[in-house]
C-alpha cells in the first residue's frame, strides 16, 4: 500500500514477502543485540534516494504491529518528508523542540497508523548540524525512551552531510541502507569508517530494492 508516495506494509497481509522482509529486519535489529534490544535506532544511507525514509517508516510500522508504542523522528532537516506520508504538518517538530519553541508532547503527533507517533522535522532557523550537535538531542532521546519502546530516526545522506554522525553518537545503533546499484564498495566502506570514527554502533546493513525475481525487497541484514 502506498502512502503519498511511500510504499508501506500498511493494510498488507502477514505472510507476503514484503511484510515478512520487514519482520525479519525488525527481529534482526531487536534480537541481534546481545540481550539488550536498542531503543533508539538511526537509519542512514550514503546517498539521497537509497530508501532511508521508506525503511524507517516500515520498520516503525512493523514494531507497532507487535503492540509496542513506536516513534518516528524525521531528523532529515535538509529535505524532510516523513510528515507527507501521514498528511501531517512539518511543524512543530524536532527543530522546534531542540530550540525550545515547542514541547515534545505537543510536537510528537499520533498518526493514522495505530501505535506510531511522528516527530516531524520542524522549522529549521539555524544550520541543522548546529542543532544536532548539541546535548539537547541526546536529552530528547532519553525523554522519548520513557514513552516509546522503539524510536526510529530518519537521517540525511551521510556522504553529503555531517548530520548523521551527530545523530549516530546519540542513538543505540545505526542501520545502514544501500541500493544494489547505488553506493560503490568504496563508498560503503567510507560510510562505515565515518560511523566508526564517532564510535557509533552499526546494527547491520539492508540492501534495498533487490531484483524482483528475489521477491524480497530487503536482503543482507548483517
Three-class SS state of 73 = strand
Which pLDDT does position 121 carry in this prediction? 97
Q: Which pLDDT band, with edges at 50, 70 and 90, does 16 fall under?
A: confident
User: Phi/psi zone of residue 61: left (φ > 0), alpha (ψ -120 to 50 degrees), beta?
Assistant: alpha
pLDDT tens per residue across span 197-217: 999 999 999 987 654 444 444
Which pLDDT does position 145 carry in this prediction? 97
- Is pLDDT at 221 greater than 80 in this prediction? no
Q: Residue 109 burial (CB < 10 Å; 0-12/13-18/19+)?
A: middle
Rounded distance between C-alpha atoms, residue 170 and residue 107, angstroms: 20
Q: Which long-range contacts (CB under 8 A, 24 or more apart) does 11-18 make?
A: 17/215, 17/216, 17/217, 18/217
Q: What's the longest Cα–Cα distance across the chain?
A: 49
Average pLDDT over residues 37-49: 95
pLDDT tens per residue across span 71-98: 999 999 999 999 999 999 999 999 999 9
Rounded distance between C-alpha atoms, residue 126 and residue 137, angstroms: 15
- Is pLDDT at 123 greater than 50 in this prediction? yes
Enumerate the domain spans of the chain. Answer: 39-219
Rounded distance between C-alpha atoms, residue 103 and residue 144, angstroms: 12
Average pLDDT over residues 155-183: 91
Cell of 115: 501505535
Using an 8 Å Cβ cutoff, are 116 and 61 in contact? yes
Using an 8 Å Cβ cutoff, are 100 and 143 in contact? no
Question: What's 39-219's CATH class?
Answer: alpha beta
pTM of the model: 0.91
- Is pLDDT at 120 greater than 70 in this prediction? yes
Q: Closest Cα to residue 175, out of 2, 14, 11, 44? A: 44
What's the half-sphere exposure (Cβ side, CA atoms, 13 Å) at 125? 9
Rounded distance between C-alpha atoms, residue 206 and residue 208, angstroms: 6
- Is pLDDT at 52 greater than 90 in this prediction? yes
Amino acid at each position: 500500500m502506498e502512502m503519498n508516495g511511500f510504499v508501506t506494509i500498511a493494510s498488507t497481509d502477514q505472510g507476503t514477502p514484503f511484510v515478512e522482509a520487514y519482520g525479519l529486519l525488525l527481529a534482526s535489529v531487536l534480537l541481534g543485540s546481545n540481550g539488550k534490544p536498542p531503543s533508539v535506532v538511526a537509519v542512514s544511507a550514503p546517498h539521497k534516494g537509497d530508501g532511508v525514509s521508506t525503511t524507517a517508516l516500515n520498520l516503525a510500522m512493523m514494531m507497532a504491529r507487535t503492540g509496542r508504542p513506536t516513534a518516528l523522528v524525521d531528523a532529515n532537516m535538509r529535505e524532510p518528508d516523513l510528515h507527507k506520508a501521514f498528511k501531517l504538518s512539518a511543524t512543530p517538530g524536532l527543530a522546534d523542540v531542540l530550540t525550545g519553541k515547542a514541547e515534545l508532547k505537543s510536537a510528537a503527533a499520533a498518526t493514522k497508523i495505530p501505535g506510531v507517533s511522528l516527530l516531524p522535522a520542524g522549522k529549521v532557523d539555524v544550520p541543522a548540524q548546529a542543532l544536532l550537535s548539541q546535548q539537547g538531542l541526546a536529552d530528547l532521546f532519553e525523554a522519548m525512551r520513557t514513552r516509546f519502546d522503539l524510536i526510529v530516526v530518519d537521517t540525511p545522506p551521510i556522504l553529503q552531510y555531517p548530520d548523521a554522525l551527530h545523530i549516530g553518537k546519540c542513538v543505540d545503533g545505526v542501520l545502514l541502507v544501500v541500493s544494489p546499484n547505488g553506493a560503490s564498495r568504496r563508498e560503503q566502506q567510507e560510510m562505515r569508517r565515518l560511523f566508526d570514527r564517532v564510535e557509533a554502533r552499526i546494527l547491520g546493513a539492508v540492501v534495498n530494492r533487490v531484483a524482483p525475481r528475489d521477491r524480497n525487497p530487503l536482503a543482507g541484514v548483517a
